Amino acid sequence: MSERPDTSTHPGDWSDDMLWALAAVDTAVLLVDPDGALVHANEAARLLAMRLGDGSTPAQLLARVPDAAWDAAVIDGRWSGDLVVDEPPIVLEARLYCGRGEHAGRRFATFTDVSARSAREGELQQRHDELQRTYRRLAGAQEQLLQSEKMASIGQLAAGVAHEINNPIGYVHSNLGTLQEYTGALMALIEGYANALGADDPASCRDAIRGMRERLDFDFISGDLPQLLSESREGIERVTKIVQDLKDFSRVGRDEAMRPSDLERGLESTLNIVWNDLKYKVRVEKHYGELPLVECHASEINQVLMNLLINAGQSIAERGTISLATGCEDDEAWISIADSGCGIAEESLQKIFDPFYTTKPIGRGTGLGLAICYSIVAKHHGRIEVSSRLGVGTTFRVVLPVRQPAGVADAQA
């Protein structure tokens, strides 16, 4: 029995063969009695204990297992977990086994040095955290880019929008001037009537009143007044609408859930914003089909439509047509914007979605418009199709699924 491991405690009734086998394995194995005291430690356990410090014994190794772990092992039959040793830095994977039934009272523990695995995991975790941070930074940058292109296009449009607002404000202002005159005339007339009523012989005032009505042009005023008022109301409504459209447009879409939205309304209000840039040279045709509500970030889709409308307008040098069409096939809704502009050369077609690709002079083009359109539409699980002929015109078609794939909209909410 000289081969038998030298143990400080009695190995209980574990068989010699069993102890011999344990001596041969690389895993540290500690046999434990039902009270948790060490019964036997194999050679690997003794070597491992020594690595934990000068004179450290298997019993000390066993003492590192928290009582709660043993309690759990008694209930479940087994327990495993990592034990972190600070000095020297070692991570041990401990597995505890408690026998049941005919093996009740049997307990043993194994220990494996998993420092390398644990270090690798730590490193992976660190890399993962770094990637996550980078991802968040990129997402933030992308959001900023989106917002800045949006603001740049609003900047470009500001003059046009100002004009669109100034125009109705101008005639509402002039209408107010006229209304003031009319009010003066009407008050004078009412005063005339009041005087006549108070006169001794009201009938004798009839001619004077008639003359006054004619002089003040009462018939004209009574015809013009309702028109002035409704025209002014329309003007104010138009300004309110443009301001609302601008507000919708400049909203940052982030953190907002995708909602079923009316794409045609989005197209109309976007057209409203860019209208001043288009109205002198472009005739707009509309061929709207029946569109269901489409699940999307409406303000982002409006940004796509705005980019496409501006590009279409810029492609037309003198005079031309922009055709807007919508439709729905299967579970996809589409909007197409076709212009009779300069067209795009075959070899340029594959570059137009690249960020910063532009054929326009500085200040007019950023080259970001279509790149942003592309990423917004891709985020919506849709696509943008282009067809173009040089000198004839270009058609962009935005195709979006009516409903986002399951989970996407909820996840965003």
Ligand X SMILES: Nc1ncnc2c1ncn2[C@@H]1O[C@H](COP(=O)(O)OP(=O)(O)O)[C@@H](O)[C@H]1O
Choices 168-176, 206-214, 365-373, 399-407; region in contact with ligand X by CB under 6 A: 365-373
d(CA 133, CA 138): 9
Q: Is position 349 an interface residue for ligand X (rule: CB under 6 A)?
A: no
Determine which residue in the list 341, 400, 401, 404 makes contact with ligand X, applying CB under 6 A. Answer: 341
Q: Is position 400 an interface residue for ligand X (rule: CB under 6 A)?
A: no
Q: Is position 152 an interface residue for ligand X (rule: CB under 6 A)?
A: no
Taking each helix axis as running N to C, give the angle between helix 218-250 and helix 206-215, from 0 to 180 degrees, rounded to the nearest 10.
Answer: 40
Choices 35-43, 250-258, 334-342, 362-370; region in contact with Mg ion by CB under 5 A: 362-370
Closest CA to 292 of 326, 323, 249, 257: 326
d(CA 112, CA 129): 28
Min dist CB 241 to ligand X, Å, is: 26
Determine which residue in the list 370, 376, 377, 384 makes contact with ligand X, applying CB under 6 A. Answer: 370
Q: Is position 232 an interface residue for ligand X (rule: CB under 6 A)?
A: no
Q: Identify the H or E element spanning 297.
A: none
**99 within 8 A of 109, measured Cβ to Cβ:** no
DSSP 192-204: HHHHHHHSSSGGG
d(CA 341, CA 125): 54
DSSP 103-127: GTT-EEEEEEE-HHHHHHHHHHHHH
Determine which residue in the list 295, 394, 400, 401 makes contact with ligand X, applying CB under 6 A. Answer: 394
Question: Which of ligand X, Mg ion, none interacts with 11 (beta carbon under 5 to 8 A by kind)?
Answer: none
Write the single-letter amino acid at 44.
A
Task: Write each residue from 306 to 335 as x if it is in contact with ligand X (CB under 6 A), else as -, in one continuous string.
Answer: -x---xx--x--------------------
393-401 and 332-339: which strand pairing? antiparallel
Q: Is position 153 an interface residue for Mg ion (rule: CB under 5 A)?
A: no
* R_g (Cα) of the chain, nearest Å: 42
C-alpha dihedral sign at 142, 148, 152, 155: positive
Nearer of residues 134 and 359 to ligand X, judged by Cβ:
359
Determine which residue in the list 19, 212, 298, 344 makes contact with ligand X, applying CB under 6 A. Answer: 344
259-261 and 282-287: which strand pairing? unpaired
The residue count for binding ligand X (CB under 6 A) is 20
Min dist CB 358 to ligand X, Å, is: 3
Q: Is position 387 an interface residue for ligand X (rule: CB under 6 A)?
A: no
Q: Is position 160 an interface residue for ligand X (rule: CB under 6 A)?
A: no
Displacement of CA 304 from its chain's centroid (Å): 15
**143 within 8 A of 132, measured Cβ to Cβ:** no
Min dist CB 326 to ligand X, Å, is: 18
Determine which residue in the list 270, 311, 388, 394 makes contact with Mg ion, applying CB under 5 A. Answer: 311
Min dist CB 365 to ligand X, Å, is: 3
Residues lying near ligand X in the complex (CB under 6 A) are found at 307, 311-312, 315, 339, 341-342, 344, 352, 357-360, 365-367, 369-371, 394
